[in-house]
Each structure stands twice: as C-alpha cells, then as structure tokens.
C-alpha cells in the first residue's frame, strides 16, 4: 500500500468501500492515453447512500461539504482500483462538483471545497486542480452532491 493509499484510509475512507461496476450502461472511468476521465460519483459509503436532499434546506452546507469529501474519496478509490495504486496519479487536471441546490443558494463552492480538500490532502501538490462548482435543480437519487474528475496518469 502506497503512502497516498494510506493517507486516504487515514482520512477515514477505507480502500475496500469502493463501488466499482464496469460493464454497465455507464463505465466508472475511461482512459485516453495518459488521461483518465472518472464518471461522477455520489456520496455512497459502501452500499449506504448518504446526504440526500437539497442544500441548504435539507442538507446543511457542513454536511454537503462532507458529501463532497466522500464523493472525492470514491473517485480516488475507483482510480486506485483501476491503477492498482494512487502513486500512478501524476496530477489532477480538473474536478467538477454539482450541488443539489435550493434556488437561492449561492455557496456551492463551499460545499465542493470538501472534495478539493480530500484530493489535496491525499495527493499533495499533484492534487492541485482546476475546478467548477455548480448548483443544479436535481441530482441522481436526490443526493446533495456529485463530483467528477479528470486525472493525468503515469504511463
């Protein structure tokens, strides 16, 4: 287990709680050369779906931040499952975070900070990335947050 793998576990995200189901209608990731595109992840904690509802009326900004952190951990777990180790991540290029926001909510960026913080904590400087944080009218399964990521991997 690499230092990055250990950091993810130390943050409270066990590596074995990955939902990885290739072969369905949507693939969990796609690789083109040294670029890995990871499909959006929602806040599943193993098989349990957490943080369902609109932000901030049903899910607090604090909990939406936790949801984004869980989404980021799920993205890293899916990448690791495919690569064998997070050491093969050269750098994060971009993340996009979607918040199931009440119409007047304007702090989506604060919620998505949860994802940015996990990625930077685990990957260090390789986790620095471009980012968008968007408010949406709804998200799959009614979750509060969904996050997707683009990585550059070592060949």
Question: What band does 24 get if pLDDT is binned at 50, 70 and 90?
Answer: confident
* CATH class of the region 3-19+31-153: alpha beta
104-111 long-range Cβ contacts below 8 angstroms, 24+ apart: 105/55, 105/56, 105/135, 106/135, 107/61, 108/55, 108/133, 108/134, 108/135, 109/133, 110/61, 110/65, 111/55, 111/61, 111/64, 111/65, 111/67, 111/68, 111/144, 111/145
Q: Is residue 9's pLDDT more than 90?
A: yes
Largest CA distance in the chain: 45
Q: Quote the CA–CA distance of 134 and 131 in Å, as a whole number.
A: 10
Dihedrals φ, ψ of 65, to 5°? -65, -40
pLDDT digits (tens, 9 = 90+) for 55-90: 999 999 999 999 999 999 999 999 999 999 999 999
Q: Is residue 20's pLDDT more than 80?
A: no
pLDDT digits (tens, 9 = 90+) for 99-113: 999 999 999 999 999
Question: What band does 19 get if pLDDT is binned at 50, 70 and 90?
Answer: confident
Amino acid 62: pLDDT: 98
Amino acid 129: pLDDT: 98
Q: Is residue 23's pLDDT more than 80?
A: no
Indicate the pTM of the whole model.
0.96
Amino acid 155: pLDDT: 79
Residue owning tokens 């060949």: 155
DSSP 88: G
Residue owning tokens 């620095």: 128
């Amino acid at each position: 287990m690499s230092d990055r793998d250990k950091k993810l576990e130390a943050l409270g995200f066990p590596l074995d709680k990955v939902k990885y189901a290739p072969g369905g209608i949507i693939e969990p990731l796609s690789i083109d050369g040294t670029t890995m595109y990871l499909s959006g992840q929602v806040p599943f904690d193993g098989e349990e779906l957490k943080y369902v509802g609109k932000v901030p009326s049903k899910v607090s900004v604090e909990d939406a931040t936790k949801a984004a952190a869980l989404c980021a951990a799920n993205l890293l777990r899916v990448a690791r499952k495919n690569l064998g180790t997070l050491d093969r991540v050269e750098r994060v290029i971009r993340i996009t975070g979607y918040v199931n926001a009440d119409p007047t909510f304007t702090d989506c960026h604060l919620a998505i900070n949860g994802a940015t913080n996990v990625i930077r904590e685990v990957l260090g400087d390789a986790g620095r990335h471009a980012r968008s944080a968007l408010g949406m009218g709804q998200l799959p399964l009614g979750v509060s947050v969904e996050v997707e990521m683009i990585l550059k991997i070592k060949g």
